Each structure stands twice: as structure tokens, then as C-alpha cells.
Structure 1
């Protein structure tokens, strides 16, 4: 069963981090592979001795293939613990599991549904690019608003008197209210955004902008802060406007539009974020699509990412605004503060309990109750927005990194969703969190895959430990 992707969306799934190994040479990817330059000398995920690259493994398998370096050690150790053998030829079709950070058309074309496991849904870009996510959420909200309007008794015509006689208007009202409560408004969790590749939206943004505002401009497919800049005054906005105009008028790009710089979005900057010890932070959580036939979805806690320096909204230093490790490594203080740039969720919860519970009237353990529930709710809405778009085959699975920001009023914002999230373990917290995420991801994917092949009930799940089941389409 295959569901068509959104052909109007441009670009591929953006890797949160990726390092192309030589095994990836020649792959036809929809975007450039992203580089993970993390020094792995302190990583616990270094491979144990195995079949060397270029050698053909002996034995009947099962075989696994890994393309790229992101999480490669962890995935390799997991597979070899099951007696599987690693292969290095991407063209081989006799694998049990293929874990690649870049996507090859050949990989999906030769995929054997119901026999193989393949990491990354081919058109996950509808969730994991800036334009893809924005467009999907907008379309979903438009459709849901229309359905909600139709549920309103004022908009329903009941021509048959017999039907009218038994129809209680309160039933329609309650149904409409219940439906509305389940759907979040975009303005309640997603910062106001404009697509700069659409003329009307671009012009609307330039007319809207005022000097007192800060906006953030992002390329649709880039990651790790690449290509991001802030718009903090009219001069910066005018400069952007001139640049876009220049690109539109360039004869080369008119003739070869695929060579033009990737499309961008501008997003209203959250100027008053909640701070931890005076520093800006966001939270990386995980959305696991363990199976697409049927859909089986999970939420996983991740970790808190903090800046090295105290927050200053007026600062021109991007490391004061972007919390990811790639950006923080550019700060001269990073080597001294590395361990303080990542917190466990338990530490975050304790900090909120100690510093804000009384002052803000929060319930105890707000992080693990209200905040967690809100993240899960937002993830599910994003999934519902793309449920009918994602390409579904038994054996496809995906682990998506979701970045959330909390403002000073404890409102939760979704910043973005990332394909191929960073799986490096360059500090103590990540050495604890990341292996658990990878191992349980693979445990759940395998268990559900085998159960679905045998026609067994998905739940209970023997391997479920840290993840939380959000949706079981096989129920």
C-alpha cells in the first residue's frame, strides 16, 4: 500500500546530522548529505572488530547495511549482538536492515516489502523540512476548520421532517465542541511563519515587518543552524528583499531553477523564552514511526539543549540564539562548558519544580505531566496532518527529532521536526540517552514487524520501556 507524496513540496528530508561515509558515494539523494564533524574519540559507540570493508561476509546472514556515520556504531553493535553480519555494498539487495542517512531512489525501488526493514520513510520531507511541515499543518487546519463548521447545527440542513423530529441540536453542539477541543490551532503551538518562495506570502511579510520585531530566516532543508540568520531591523529586511529579488531576476536561475538557492521561510522569533540559569534552551524529543502498515507511533523523551552563554535577545552572536551542539561548538567557552550544554529531563524537571512551581502556580512535575502531554499532543497533530501523504510499506520506519521551546509564560512551541536526528554521544548525558533511544527504537521496530507479519496483536509489547505508545493502528 503506497500513499502519494505531496508533489508541490520542494526538497528532501533534512538530516539533523549526518556524515557521509565512502559507502554512500554515488547515492542519488534529494539533498546534500549533512556533515557531522563530532570527534568520536570519546564515543562509546566505536565498532568492535567485524568484517572489513571490501570483504564479503561469510554465512547465511541476516545482513545489515549502514550508510553514513550518524549512529553507525550503535546500530552496528545492536545488529551484531543478534548475530547479523554487516555488508558494505549498497547495491546488495539481500539485507534485513538498511540504515542510511541519505536517501537513494534505488534503495526504495528495490525494497522488498514485508521482508526488509528500511530507515527513513521516503517522503518524510512533508514533516521534516520547514516548508513541508508548515504546508502540511496549514492544509490540515484548513480541512479541520471546514469539518468543524459542517458539524455546527447552524450549517446543517435537515430537509426530512422525521429526521428533524428526532435530531437533538445539543448532540450536534457537543460533537462540534468535542471535535474542536481535539484540534490545536497552529497559533497555539507553531510560531507565525511565511514562505518566501510564494510571492503573496513574501510580500505580506515585508509589509508586516516592523523595526521592533525579531524574525528568524531559515532555509527549508538545512540543519544544524546552517544558513540561518536573524532579521532585527529594517536594514536587514531590505537586504533580504534585495537578495530575493536578485535571485528571481537572475537569468541562470530562470533557465535552471533547480540551481537556485533553496527556498526559505521566515518565522517570528520567540523573544521571551523561559531561561535555565539565565540561558536559552530547547528540548529535543523523539517521534518514532515504528511501522507504517499499520501505523504504530511512539513518543520518546530526549534531553535539554542549552547555550553556553546567558541569553541576550539583542546579541548578534548566533550561539546565543541557537542551542544545537553544532552551533555551540563555535562558542569559545564550549570546551569548558560542554557538559552543561546538555541536561537530562530529570534535571530540567527538578529545576522547574524548585524555581517556578510556586511563582507560576505550576503543578508538581510540570515537565513530566503538562509539558510531556503537550509535546505528545503536538506530535500527533503533526502526524495527522501527513497521515494520508506518507508513503506506507511494511518495513518502513522513521525516528524523527522534534525540537520544542518553552516561553516565559510556559507556552510550548514546536520549532521544527528533523529527519535523521543527531545520534552522537559526545557528553555524559548523551552517552546515557542516545544508546537507549537507538536500542529501543530497533527493538520496537523488530518486534512490531515480526508480529505484523504473523498477524499477531501488536500489544502488549515486550520491548517497550522508555517510549510511550501514542497510536496503534493495528488495534
Structure 2
């Protein structure tokens, strides 16, 4: 492959143009599934209007049994002894929807919800409006009960009222959902964990067990080590690498390094970027950071096609933490796998890349499989050949994903902003190689919620609905000082972690105490097991695993009292 074809990072000119546009807008925007930059909640602040102080809207929600939000405008001292807050009259706005029609901002009692963007808009809106909530379109209004935005900016968190409102996306989720953020968090967690002895605590995975070899190109030592490693290596001996920009998604900016020429061209590109940054008069924007990752050339194939698995990590609450896992779906390429192909759509499975294939409209239903179909295929084709336990996908594979997600969460739980009302749904992408070893590719904030094929029409709405159901139920119970468990809205999500403590000892004890009660598989996957325990993943990531221990009653859960 020529360097011209394989090395295609974003140009500096485009970055500069984007910077000017962002400066004009006054805030930095993100794309779907792209983590944002630094954003930190500034607490509940009063806004200063021209010449006078603007008071905050009234308390708009009180919690009552049998309902999610009800409204009680405050015109006296609050029950907590707080000052009186006087409501300002809501003004009629002159907003327009996407079709250009005039929108009249709702007034009066809510509950109100705000949705920013298009990713999942219909699903979230249907959920809220079926419950009598009213959509507001003015992003500056502060009397919302739920705010769901696909992009983040510091402004939207500045007047968040903890314990009174729900806000989608934890402000600093980039420590988990950017490539460099996740890598740094796991490396730091591994260094700290290696110095501490936990006796009989659960064994942690080493990074090399589930993360392909990864190096940061924005760190001089790692960059120089990478290029030094490639010197003197022939093309026949060299490994293939995949280069990813840390802040983009949907395959944008990704390219492969297959030869010495590709690596030399990439090295020169980084040098030019570094020189331009050094010579710039205005250094308010850093150049795009990259990672290089060992490309797994022996993936497991489904009907000759490369695939990965999208699963979900739900942080339904941050105070206390309540964290869940959920199965998603399988994403396949349109074309048969060819490791020598120069076409990125043969290597990247996401729908954004597959839509570029001229045959996509004919093959789109074949590019997404349900987990049940994946499980049946593995049972039929590989159970005997690879000596796998039956239902490996729904048993050992599910357990391994849960184990990896739990470790990633533990690596960041002391870093995330924890305020009652923050919640987050994160898309986690896994690859299985031909030896049935499971690799984590990346984690994405604001995962794609499009429903452009039949499997997605079944999976995505149920993911969003249960996400909101769980988040609201937990929020209401905490607000009402009720025990959290059991959760009547828990259906497909599987509990991974719950607790206030940020100490490692507490997290390990919780996992040990709840090991016997965790549902390995959600209800819809339990059929076909004939009442038997689903095999669980062993610490060494092997395919042959022992059965789960018997479940205990939910009354034994730590947070049920």
C-alpha cells in the first residue's frame, strides 16, 4: 500500500477552519459517539443578566409515590430551609424545528425535558411524551427535569441542580470514552493495583489480556519507542498497525500502517504537525492526538466476514454508583475479510463505514446480527470444532465482557464527577479472535441509537427505554430514601457494581458478596438453557468454563437494607 493511500489523517487546514468556526460559536461541539473536551460542572450558579440578577426558576419537581415527576411551584421557604425562589415568567420563543415550522415554547407546569441533537431523538421523545412530559427547545431554560444532549459543553452543566434534575452524560466521561483517556486510566489503575496486595481478592486482568498493544503518539517516549521498534524490520516481518485519532468516531481519521513506507510517511506527518504547532502564533488548539494499536489479523469470522460486538455499560447513578451491563448486537462487514485489502470498510465494521459500500442497501440486514443469532451460529459451527461449552456467546463471552467492563469502570470510578442526577450510556466494542480470545476495542460516549435495520429496531429502543426506566426508578428511590433493590424495571441489564465507596477494598468485597446473585444473562437469553446454569468465564479467558454457583435471594444484596 502506498503511503498516500494508507496515511490520511485530518489536515491542518481543516483543523484551523474548524477552530475558527468553534470560536465563532463560542463553544466546542462534538459528533455522535465522540467524547467532548474538558467540561466541569460549576455548581448551581445564578446567571447575571444585564443590569440585574436573574433568579433561578422555581423548584419544579417533588417526588410522590406512583409517579415520576410532579410539580409544586415554590413561593415560600423550601422544606429544607432554603430561600424563597421566585419564578420569572416564561417568554414565548420563536424557535423553529428541523422542517422550519414555528415552535411555541411550552409554559406552565411540566414535567419538561430537553433533547439536543438527533441521535435517538425519536425514541427518547416518545418515551417522555408517553408519560406526559413536555419538550422544551430553549437550551438555556433551567426548569427541565431531564436533559439529554448528544454533545456536551460546560454551559449546560453550570446550572444543573443536583438531586432535582437528570442529566445524560457525565461531564468528564472522557476518562473512559476517549482512546487516550481509557488507556491512561487503565495504565494508572494497573500501576496502583500492582503495588497493593488484596489477599484472596478477585484477580484483575492484565491490560495485555484484553487490550491490543497500544502506544500514544502524543507522548514522545512512546512515539520514539514505536518508530525505533520498526527500524531494521523487513516488510515480511513487520506487524500491521492501525492508527486512530483519539477524538473522532465512525472510522473517521483511521488508517492502517502495513509497510515500512507507511510508517515512514506517518512519522513525517507527525513531524510536520509538531513543527506547525511550534511555529504557530496562536496555540489555543492542540493538534489531533493519535494512538497506534496492534492490528489483530486473525479475527473470528462469521460467514467469512469480520465482525465486532457492541455491548452497553450503563452508569444509571453516580451517587451512589449503580452500574449495569447489557447485550447489544453484532456488526459485520459487507465484504469478505481480506487482511491485505486497502479498503477500510473491509476492516472497520461500524455502520457509518459499511454505508459507503455500493451494495449496502442490498446487504444492510446482513450487516447486523442479534446476539441470539450469533450464539446459534457459534453453537453450530464452533462448539465441537473448538471444544466450546454450549451457548458460549451467552455464557463465557458475556461473563468476559462483564469482567472487562467492570475493570474499566473501577479504573475511573474515583475520577468521574459524581452528582445525583448524572447518568451515562456507553457503547463498548469487542472483537473475538479465532482462538476465542476477547479484546476490547474501545468505549464510546453517546453511542449510535439509529434503527436502520430490523435487528436495531428491536434492540435499540429497548436499550433506551430500560436505561431511562432504571435511571428514573433509582433516582426516585434515592430521593425518597428507599432501598434501591430490587429494581422492578430491571429486565435485560445485568448489575455490575453498586456502592458509594471509592476504596478498592470495598469494590472487591462488593463483587465477592454479589458474585452468587448476579444474573449472568438477562431474561430473554435464559431460554434454551433448560434451567441449567449458564457457563461463566474463567480468569484465564479460556473457552471451557465452570458453571455458575447458585443464586441467593435479593434480600442478601448489600444495598437492599
2:311 to 285, 300, 305: 285
How far apart, CA to CA, are the structure 2 residues paired with 1:468 and 1:395?
21
Q: Which shifted more, 253-262 or 306-315?
A: 253-262
| Deviation digits for residues 115-140 of structure 1 (CA, Å, limit 9, x no counterpart) | 00000000000000000000000000
SS at match of 1:413: strand
Whether 2:263 is the aligned partner of 1:237: answer yes
SS of the residue aligned with 1:376? helix
Classify the secondary structure of the residue corresponding to 2:327.
Answer: strand
- Determine the structure 1 residue equivalent to 2:422: 396
| 2:165 equivalent among 108, 116, 128 | 116
State the Cα distance separating 1:254 from its structure 2 match.
4.7
Structure 1 equivalent of residue 356 of structure 2: 330
1:273 alignment partner, SS class: coil
Structure 1 position 57, deviation (Å): 1.1
* SS of 2:145 mapped into structure 1: strand
| Cα distance in 2 for residues equivalent to 1:464 and 1:400 | 18
Aligned to 2:225: 204
Q: Which runs of 4+ in 1 moved over 2 A?
A: 25-29, 31-36, 209-212, 251-261
Correspondent of 2:30 among 29, 32, 36: 32
Q: 1:26 to 1:397 in 2, by over 3 A?
A: farther
Structure 1 residues 438, 53: closer, same or farther in 2, change over 3 A?
Answer: farther
Gaps of 5+ in 1: 1-24, 37-51, 152-174
Counterparts of 1:377 and 1:292, CA distance in 2: 20
Measure, in 2, the Cα distance between the counterparts of 1:112 and 1:88: 19
The TM-score normalised by the length of structure 1 is 0.83
| CA-CA distance at 1:34 after TM superposition | 4.4
Query: Which has more helix, going by share of residues?
Result: 1
Per-residue CA deviation, residues 249-270 of structure 1 (Å, 9 max, x unaligned), is: 1256654344343100000001
Normalised by the length of structure 2, the TM-score is 0.71
Matched, 1:136 2:181: no
- CA–CA separation in structure 1 for the residues paired with 2:33 and 2:185: 27
Bigger relative contact order (CA 8 A; separation at least 6): 1
Q: Residue 182 of structure 1 aligns to a residue in which SS?
A: coil
Where structure 2 has 5 or more consecutive residues not aligned to the other structure, the ranges are 1-23, 35-100, 501-558
Are the equivalent residues in 1 in contact too, given 2:33–2:445 (CA < 8 A)?
no
Number of matched pairs: 409
CA distance in 2, matches of 1:27, 1:422: 26
Cα distance change, pair 251–270 in 1 and its aligned pair in 2 (3 A): closer
Cα 1:257–1:352 shift into 2, 3 Å: farther
Q: Does 1:183 align with 2:217?
A: no
- Give the number of the structure whose alpha-carbon radius of gyration is greater: 2
2:485 aligned residue (441, 454, 459): 459
Tell me what 1:5 maps to: none
Matched, 1:76 2:125: yes
The equivalent residue for 1:369 is 395
Equivalent residue, structure 1, for 2:323? 297
1:354 counterpart (362, 380, 402): 380
Distance 1:53 1:123, change over 3 A: farther
